[in-house]
Amino acid sequence: MKIYKAADYKEMSRKAANIIASQVILKPDCVLGLATGSTPIGTYERLVSLYKEGNLDFSNVKTVNLDEYKGLPRTNDQSYYYFMHENLFDKVNIDPANTNLPDGMEPDSDKECARYEELIESLGGVDLQLLGLGHNGHIGFNEPADAFDKVTHCVDLQESTIEANKRFFASADDVPKQAYTMGIGTIMRAKKVLLVVSGEDKADIVAKAFFGPVTPAVPASILQMHGDVTLVADAAALSKIPQ
């Protein structure tokens, strides 16, 4: 694992965007695995700036997103489809036909999970997977469990995740209780993994996930077993790792 320490969120975002930009430049038709949430917003802003400056071309890039809420239409401003268009897709020259997310409105979980897994395989897999890190160690919506889920699946969101997301909704009752998410095995098949983490409130889980035992109780800990992981985090998030 490579660890890059940034002074603050802005520098973390810039470093992460540079890594993604390098992937796009080296392989213009690459497959990017993308994440949502507050942490990668700065990274997407920097990628948009690089595009507008004429330094980045997304015309042949394909994307697959980690997850999507089940039962939330794409028109809902809290859907991850909406988030990606708002923060990246509508601001660069990517072909909308090359962007992919789980279909949150597909009621048949088995059907949708199989479709999405097959889609990723048909693209040749993910060249670079961007990830955030939840306070309980979740990546995507892979919550702490007794075993690592291998493929795309429908997950019941834990109360801690619902609690963390309720600030985006009118009330906790409006937060979806399920989501479609890439499995740990799907994530681990990505050729490269880029993890972005910011804030002192993530310091404990960073230390536990990357310097503690590999266990499904801390889903992100499996990344210790991946051959090409880059962690870009600010000083606050790295404050509790062993020196």
Q: What is the pLDDT of residues 88-131, one digit of tens each?
A: 999 999 999 999 999 999 999 999 999 999 999 999 999 999 99
What are residue 196's DSSP bridge partners?
Answer: 232
What pLDDT score was predicted for residue 234?
97
143 catalytic? Reply is yes
SS3 128: strand
What are residue 2's DSSP bridge partners?
Answer: 230
Choose the catalytic residue: 138, 153, 165, 234.
Answer: 138
What pLDDT score was predicted for residue 96?
97
Choose the catalytic residue: 60, 76, 100, 136.
Answer: 136
For residue 193, what is the enclosing H or E element? strand 192-197
Which residue intervals of the chain are DSSP H helices? 9-26, 41-52, 80-87, 109-122, 159-165, 184-188, 203-211
Is 2-234 a domain of CATH 3.30.200.20? Answer: no
What are the pLDDT digits (tens) for 200-243? Answer: 999 999 999 999 999 999 999 999 999 999 999 999 999 999 87
Residue 187 and residue 193 in contact, taking contact as beta carbons nearer than 8 Å: yes
pLDDT tier at 45, thresholds 50, 70, 90: very high
Residue 199 and residue 236 in contact, taking contact as beta carbons nearer than 8 Å: yes
Choose the catalytic residue: 68, 112, 127, 143.
Answer: 143
What are the pLDDT digits (tens) for 148-179? Answer: 989 999 999 888 778 877 888 888 788 899 99
Phi-psi region at 140: left, alpha or beta (left = phi > 0; alpha = psi -120 to 50): left
Provide, rounded to the nearest whole percent, the portion of the chain with pLDDT above 70: 100
Q: Which pTM value belongs to this model?
A: 0.95
Rounded to whole angstroms, the Cα distance separating 184 from 223 reads 9
- What distances in angstroms separate CA 158 from CA 59, 68, 170, 227, one per listed residue? 38, 15, 19, 29
Rounded to whole angstroms, the Cα distance separating 151 from 113 reads 8
Choose the catalytic residue: 65, 67, 68, 149.
Answer: 67
What pLDDT score was predicted for residue 161?
76
Q: Give rounded-to-5 percent helix, strand, coil for the chain.
A: 40, 20, 40
What pLDDT score was predicted for residue 158?
80
What pLDDT score was predicted for residue 190?
98
Query: What residues does each domain of the chain span?
Result: 2-234
Backbone angles phi, psi at 69, to 5 degrees: -60, 140
Average pLDDT over the chain, rounded to an integer: 95
138 catalytic? Reply is yes
As given in the structure block, the two tokens for residue 26 are: 């080296």
